[in-house]
Structures are given as structure tokens and as C-alpha cells.
Structure 1
């Protein structure tokens, strides 16, 4: 398999050089559209994260990691193997998919990087997901710039949206996730920015159950962030975004205040922006709400040609719930 030579890597990386000057040291250094779908390279502080989307021999993996390390000048390069079936294999082949030690250079178990000047903890060797989904950077910037008083951040992961809402002046923020570990990680991110992070703002449990519970309690939010996985298994069954997103929107709409907003994200290359919009409209209709798109985003500039991520902001009617 043809692997890009070091001069090509240097040229590609140079296109992102301005990001560090703008206070962003966590970004996609090389995207798959620039490597014929073979690999991507993420930069996080002084660590590199090399994601493989095609099978390489051990020798080719080593060669590519070495080339990336030499081209970037980073301290270490970590490897993520991402076959199509990775979402199913993640729990049974975790160390093969995401080796805990770098394949090139020095170990960096934890680094602190910046996104628009905001610090985040990144763990390059910890898992397939290292702490921040960089393609959603424009959406997080939007939340920080337009944060209302009350924000609900669902599928919060390490709480990047909640943190940006807090930095943007939101008064009440609830972060919901099914993993205690990532919520604790989110509290670490809050602490890096000197923000108060009481346990009551980090809600552990199933998002669908929490949305129903918040509705029964009569809680309402001016902004609800929906950032679910495209596929997931749980005790409740299998979640497929292309089939189930409307149901999620319906539950979320029930806790959106009159005139509030839903920030909906979908990471699924097989769903078009128009189809995604129809899902959202369908979900709103199920609860008697209406609204319209007030903003759209895609992945950031470091994802040239990417079509996987759809982000739509819907402003809802004033009729209430």
C-alpha cells in the first residue's frame, strides 16, 4: 500500500499551522480526504494520534507512524485502528484497536491541549475516543458565543459543550451521560478553566430516561444540545440515529422553553442534511412543537471535504410545552 512520503505530510500539516497561533492545539492535522481514506492524524498538544481506516502490515504501521512523528516534530505518536466493525469490537479488542503506549516516540498518557484558548485533558492512549471530537469545534464555538441562561448538554462525553456554555455566561448547565468516567473527566475540564463543577451539574444515566425525568419535574432549558452516537447498544436495545433521531428530538422538545433552541448533531455520512432536517421536524411535530433552522455547521476547516458531520440549530416556537 502506498503511504504518503514525509514531504507530503509536512505540506499537509503546514495548512493547519495557523490554528496554534489562534489558541487551538487540538485539531485534525491530516484528514482522510487527504490520504485517499487510508489514515488521519490528530494533534493534541505535543502528542499525535494516528487513526488507520485500512489494513496495514505491522511494518507499514511503523513506517507511517515514524513518518508522521518526523513530519510533525511531536513527542509521540499513538495508534488507533478503526475498521468498519470497530464499534462492535471496541469492548472485546480494546488494546488492539487502541494500544495504550505510543508506537513511535515518547509516552504521553495525558496532555492538556487548547481549543480556542480553552484547555482540555486529552488521553491519547486511553481509548478510541481520546477526550474531544475536534470536528465539532465550530458548534462549540457557537455555544460559547450564544450561550443562554439554561443549557442541557446530552450525551455530554467530556462536557465540551457544557464547558463552553459556562464560559459563555450560562447560569444553569446540566451535563448528562451514561458514563461516570467521562463525566468525571468533564469535571476535570471545568477545573482547568477555573469553573465550579458541582456533582449536581453532571447527571449520570440514560439520556432518554433523564429527558423524561426532567420533563416530569417541569424543568425547561433555553438550549438543549443533542450529540448522540450514530450507533449504540444498551439494555434498552439498539440505537440507530437514522431510525431513532426523531424520537430523541421529541423527548428533547418537551424540555425546551418557549423560543428556546435545539442544537442537533449527527455524525453519519449516510444521512444527508435535508434528511437530517426532516428527522428533526418530525420529532418536533410529535410533541406539537414547530420551529425553523437558525444556523447550520459542518466540521471545521481542518476537515476538508468532510461530509460526515451535520449540525443544525432549530429555534422553537413561543407556544411553550
Structure 2
């Protein structure tokens, strides 16, 4: 039997939640949460017991749970989840009918009304990601709801709430057809290989779809450096866009075979491209020593990374990253600066860019900006949930 707890909200939290804020912060409630079970339903009330909203208790790095409804009589059951998923699917109707793109986000957590849950579509297969034990406790109702709303070729899942945020390897298959991997998906007519049963990652970050298209459209006749390249998705986009050559740099050893695979599924000779398995900052030094310069440099680092030599954080080290990139960018060239760090907004990100260029005594012009694509719905009036920030910068001198 699911626990139902009446929880009194602090006055500031009442205003925020009444105005549509979906996240329940730890300091938003008065009683202790120590005796609550993950997945408990929270009847959120004011100091007089007046109803505000219903949520669920689920610990994750953002808070202690999420608001599900502001209707006191609404039941949190299979019908509720089916309604939410159905509304989300309807919003993506144009993507479902696209012949050019066969991978996208179907359900984006709090943006579609259920924080802690995302659902992605990969050429008929669905991948459900769970961000707390609390939301995972609803899995039976949610999987049944998903089956009612869409025709699933097969379903896989990612449990992203293990110890210290580390993903624990497991068989991610849930139901339906078992996929044969790599599975080939299309994105703006470009092919990418994905694996839904290979740890935390799939092989592509779907939130960068519009940025990859922009790179594709601007790469003709250009040399391109793709740093923190992962499986080389940006490099593929550049090569298909007519790049003179791409260089992909990532520290992870598996980036080499994964990047080769991405080139191969697009019939690109990987030997004509440069793939380096090394620390990006070491590569900057290497390139500077060898007087290598590029027309386009892609910077898409993780929010935080630690190696034996150094610790990198986008919140404090992005200006240094940009300055190193400037040293190997041709005059009149382009830097694609990206971050998915949700702890600062676009305005703050632009101060990092300005700082780096001023310290290098170099003029610049911002020519394009991107945030999350349309399928990554964010809550209305709460831009802090739009975590992706991408700025395309022209180097002026």
C-alpha cells in the first residue's frame, strides 16, 4: 500500500508551487522526511491544512520530489500516467511522422508533468530513464500506460539513481522485441549508431540535434576540431556537411571504436579523419606546438571531470577552455561553445565567453544561440530547467 503523507509547505514554497514550480525542495516542507518511503504520495498543504498540490517523494540531486497535480481529487494511477504520456506524444506528432529523424525525446520529465522520468524514442524502441527510487516505484502503472498510448517495438530502461549517482551495469531490457545493436537511427537524414543496452549512455545526446544540424550546414570546406567528442556525433555531422577534415578528441578509450562505428554507418572512411584518444587540454598543447589551427572548434565538455592530472568544472574552468581553444582557432573561425551545466544560466555563460575573449584581447561576435530543442519541453515560466546552453561564436581578430 502506497504511503500518503500530509506535508505542510513553507510560505515561500506555497507561492512558488501555486505559480507552477514543479520541484519540491528540501527546505520547502516543515516536517522531517526521514520516515518517508520513496514513492510516498505527498498531500501538500498550507499552515491551515488547505490543499496546494499532490506530489511524490523521491530523492535526487535537484530536490526531494516533484509535484504531480494541483487537482485535489485527481488519482495518481495508470489513467493519470496514460493521460500525461498521451499529451506528450501529441506534442511530438511532427517528429513521429518525420522521415528525416527517427530518434527524439517523447517525455521530458517536469516539462511534461512528471519530474524524474524521461522517455526517448529510437526507431521504434523506447528507452525509459528513472531518476529516483520514488518515481521507479510507479513503474508498473507507467509501463502499462506507455503500452496503452503507443505501439512499442521494444522497451529498455536506465536506472539513474544508484549510489553516488554512478550507473550500475545491468540488463536494461524490459519488454517487447530485443534490439539488435547497434541500432541505426536517423537525425536530420544523418545516420547514428546507438546501443540501448550498454551502460548509462546510448551513443548520442539527443538534446544536441539542432546544434549538429547547424554544424553540418556550416562545415563545407572547413577543418573541424571536436573536443570531448564521445562517439564523434559532431564529427559525423561535419564530415557529412562537406568538412575538409575532422579531428575528434576524447580521453575515453572506447571513444575510438565508437567514433569509427559512427563514421562507418555513414559510409565515411574513418582513416580519412583524425581520432585522438587523449586529454583535451593535452591536445591543445600538442596542437599549439605543431602549429595546428582549425576553422571550427566544438567545445562540449562534461559539467565536471576528474583525471589523474587535473579536475575540470565548467562552472569555474570554461574561460580557460575557451582561451586554449582560441589559440588553435583560425582568424575568422568559429567556436561552438556548449554546456549542459544547470547551475548557471545563459547570461552567466556569456560572461565566461566575454572573460575569455577579453583576456586574449580578441574581438568576437555571437552569431547563433541554442537551448533545448522543442521535444525537450521545459516548465512554462521556469527557464532554469532549460539546462542546455550553446553559443556559436565568430572569432573577429
Normalization by structure 1: what TM-score? 0.90
Number of equivalent positions: 311
Greater displacement, 151-160 / 36-45? 36-45
From the CA coordinates, give the structure whose radius of gyration is larger.
2
Q: Report the equivalent of 1:38.
A: 116
Contact 1:62 1:104 in 2 (8 A): no
Q: 2:102 aligns with which of 25, 38, 56?
A: 25
CA apart distance, 1:255: 0.3
1:288, distance to aligned residue in structure 2 (A): 3.0
- Is 1:287 equivalent to 2:363 in the alignment? no
CA distance in 2, matches of 1:43, 1:178: 29
> Is the Cα–Cα contact under 8 Å of residues 69 and 76 in structure 1 kept in the other structure?
no
Contact 2:218 2:241 in 1 (8 A): yes
Decide which of 252, 277, 298 is 2:371's aligned counterpart.
298
User: 2: CA distance between counterparts of 1:82 and 1:287?
Assistant: 40
Q: Tell me, which stretches of 5 or more residues in structure 1 are unaligned?
A: none
Give the superposition deviation at 1:199. Answer: 7.5
Distance in 1 (alpha carbons) for counterparts of 2:197 and 2:272: 27
Distance across 2 between alignment mates of 1:269 and 1:210: 27
What residue number does 2:168 align with? Answer: 94
Determine the C-alpha separation between the residues in 2 that align with 1:57 and 1:36: 9
RMSD after superposition: 2.0
8 A Cα contact 2:245 2:272, kept in partner = no
CA contact (8 A) 1:224 1:262 kept: yes
TM superposition score normalised by structure 2: 0.74
Q: In structure 2, what is the equivalent of residue 133 of structure 1? A: 205
Moved more, 57-66 or 164-173: 57-66
Question: 1 CA distance for matches of 2:144 and 2:193?
Answer: 25
Higher helix share: 1
The Cα shift of 1:238 comes to 2.4
Q: For residue 252 of structure 1, report the CA deviation from its aligned partner.
A: 0.5
Matched, 1:260 2:333: yes
Deviations 1:263-308 (A, max 9, x none): 0111012211111011122222333322121110111110122510
Name the CA distance, whole Å, in 2 between partners of 1:181 and 1:107.
Answer: 24
Q: Distance in 2 between matches of 1:116 and 1:314?
A: 23
Alpha-carbon distance in 2 for matches of 1:68, 1:131? 24
Matched-pair contact (CA < 8 Å) for 2:84–2:112: no
Deviations 1:227-269 (A, max 9, x none): 0001112112322110111111111110000011100111012
Distance 2:333 2:96 in 1: 34
Once residues 68 and 117 of structure 1 are traced to their aligned partners in structure 2, the CA distance between those partners, rounded to angstroms, is: 27
Q: Which residue of 1 aligns with 2:392?
A: 313
**Match for residue 145 of structure 2?**
67
Structure 2 partner of 1:219: 292
Q: Using a 3 Å threshold, how does the CA distance of structure 1 residues 214 and 237 change in structure 2: closer, same or farther?
A: same
